Amino acid sequence: MTMSKYVISLGGNALGTDTKSQKDLLKHVSKAILPLIKENHDIVIVHGNGPQVGMINLAFSESKSTPLMPFAECGAMSQGYIGFHIQNAILNELNKENINREVVTLVTQVLVDKDDIGFMHPTKPIGSFYSKEEAEILEKQEGYQMVEDAGRGYRRVVASPKPIDVLEKTSLLALLEKHHIVISGGGGGIPVIRTNDGYQGVDAVIDKDFASAKIAEIIDADALIILTAVDHVYLNFNEPNQLKLEKIKVLELESLIKENHFKKGSMLPKVEACLSFVKASKHKAIIASLDQAYDAIVHHKGTEILPD
């Protein structure tokens, strides 16, 4: 296999709800992508931060002695500590195998449009799950906007603007030129807008799959790989007539989206992000389970989204 460039987007199943469980889960992540590293591929890892950034923000909001921390800063904090855990897990695996490659976390600002419709209609779930009764109390007491999230409970939603550009893209490309493994765009990146006074952070969370697609486009990746809790994209998921999709082209997938086959809080943003990358790059995207990280590329496991 020739050396290729891959962007790997890690879903929430790859990260824990506390530091210990996260470290344990990331050992599994590192083992899953190790075969790609052994073959000397260039890899950029993007991770989510929905639960983590919500917990960070909540901790500051509940503290009586600490000022409230804006969402952009909470996102930067989550990039730092999750990136550290991923770096550490991969480096430990590399040391076991005597593989000499650098792993680095790039604190990443992602440009968004201040007039993005996402600011008017918050859709990004963050933080913990609550019962309907708990959600109603939070709406009244804190002014949060709460929605039911894919049948798993109620969560707070915040603005989720689409990514336009990555401010640190020159640094990202330079690190890849040196064949460093790069953790970039964590949590979808720190959302910033352009103002008369320069770039400014805003209260929002960018969907990490859309950020992954933008990063994959910028580095001219050979494939975007979204790793999640399921092994394929399914129609009629968890129903008696569920059907897994193995290979699908852009036009057909767009038709399925129009027919509302995918849930907004679950698979929809993943397939939309894949479509964005495939249409822009004419390269494939893959949605697969974490366990299939290597097989998804080499043995065509998971769902492959292909250009028409």
Share of residues in the chain with pLDDT > 70 (%): 95
Please state whether beta strands 223-228 and 5-10 pair in parallel, antiparallel, or not at all (unpaired). parallel
Give how far Cα 141 sits from Cα of 54, 131, 138, 273, 290, Å: 17, 15, 5, 35, 39
Query: Is 124 part of the annotated catalytic residue set?
Result: yes
Give yes or no: 13 in active site: yes
Residue among 49, 75, 118, 124 flagged as catalytic: 124
What pLDDT digit, counting tens, does each position of 201-248 carry?
998 889 999 999 999 999 999 999 999 888 999 998 888 999 999 999
Residue 270 falls in the annotated catalytic set: yes
User: In the Cβ-directed half-sphere of 37, how many Cα atoms lie within 13 Å?
Assistant: 24
**Active-site entry in 48, 57, 208, 301:** 208
Domains and CATH numbers, the chain: 5-113+163-306 (3.40.1160.10), 124-158 (no CATH)
Question: Is it the case that residue 1 has pLDDT exceeding 60?
Answer: no
pTM: 0.89
Please report the pLDDT score of residue 34 as a whole number: 94
Mean pLDDT, range 60-72, rounded to an integer = 73
Cβ burial of 20 (10 Å; 0-12, 13-18, 19+) is exposed
Buried b (16+ CB within 10 A) or exposed e, 56-84: bbbeeeeeeeeeebebbebbbbbbebbbe
pLDDT in tens, 117-169: 999 988 877 777 889 998 888 888 877 888 887 678 898 888 899 999 999 99
Rounded CA Rg of the chain: 19
Say how far apart CA 186 and CA 183 lie, in whole Å.
Answer: 7
Q: How far apart are CA 216 and CA 251, in angstroms?
A: 21
Instruction: Please pick, among 270, 284, 301, 302, the residue that the annotation labels catalytic.
Output: 270
118 catalytic residue (yes or no): no
